[in-house]
Copies of this chain bind each other. A is one copy, B any other.
């Protein structure tokens, strides 16, 4: 039964990517990028960590540490050259190439996503729309909606590398399985379910009601705090009253 194995083996850091860049930093790079582009449009040529941090909503120390993971792209006593930094972050995020995106599920949200201009702006091109309903055959945002029956074919034909799932919850998992089988390894999921995928497939989830629930939690705490009430005590009383 071997009660205490040494088990110091097979430990691979999963949150740190390759030889570099912590996950938390990666998640912030897009924010920096947007802030930089915005600054560039306003004509700025250099920017200090303090300024950029303010624009991105983080502290300057965090920003500097994040950027230091990409290399030493700043100049001491001056700051960072905006254009050069835009280039470096874009490159690191892989935005030099064009990513071909398919949207699965053309309901309200799918429509909105298809028409959303923000995709094209930075390296993302929506190349396929898929649905199972009456929308099939219609033109949406310049593309004809294809049937999910042809999913495998469309994915291969259009060389899709990222899929966006915007279906009702029940349809998401089966479609996800088919996408994975078709070779997709990056999925952005808007459906309110936790997708089960094999190792090597990356899923990111965007969930509206989850976000609202987190806000509600904090809002509730605030209300209780204003009244000078310990929320836990209230909760306890509530439980007892309910019993």
Residues of A within 8 A of B (CB): 17-20, 26-27, 29-31, 33-35, 38, 55-57, 91-97, 99, 101, 107-109, 111-113, 115-116, 118-119, 121-124, 161-162, 185-188, 192-196, 200, 202, 204, 206-222, 225, 230-232, 235, 238-239
Instruction: Indicate how many identical chains form the complex.
Output: 2
> How far, in whole Å, are A218 and B123 apart by their CA atoms in the complex?
15
| Residue ID in chain B nearest A87 by CB atoms | B242
> How far, in whole Å, are A57 and B57 apart by their CA atoms in the complex?
30
Chain B residues whose C-beta falls within 8 Å of the C-beta of A123 in the assembled complex: 216
Q: Are B112 and A219 in contact (CB under 8 A)?
A: no
Q: Are A186 and B218 in contact (CB under 8 A)?
A: yes
| Residue ID in chain B nearest A216 by CB atoms | B94
Q: Are B217 and A92 in contact (CB under 8 A)?
A: yes
> How far, in whole Å, are A27 and B114 apart by their CA atoms in the complex?
28
Q: Are B209 and A206 in contact (CB under 8 A)?
A: no
> How far, in whole Å, are A18 and B235 apart by their CA atoms in the complex?
13
24 pairs, CB–CB < 8 Å, chain A vs chain B: A17-B221, A18-B230, A19-B232, A26-B218, A30-B207, A31-B210, A33-B213, A34-B194, A91-B238, A92-B217, A92-B235, A99-B216, A108-B111, A108-B115, A109-B109, A119-B209, A124-B209, A161-B219, A162-B216, A162-B219, A186-B215, A188-B215, A202-B215, A206-B208
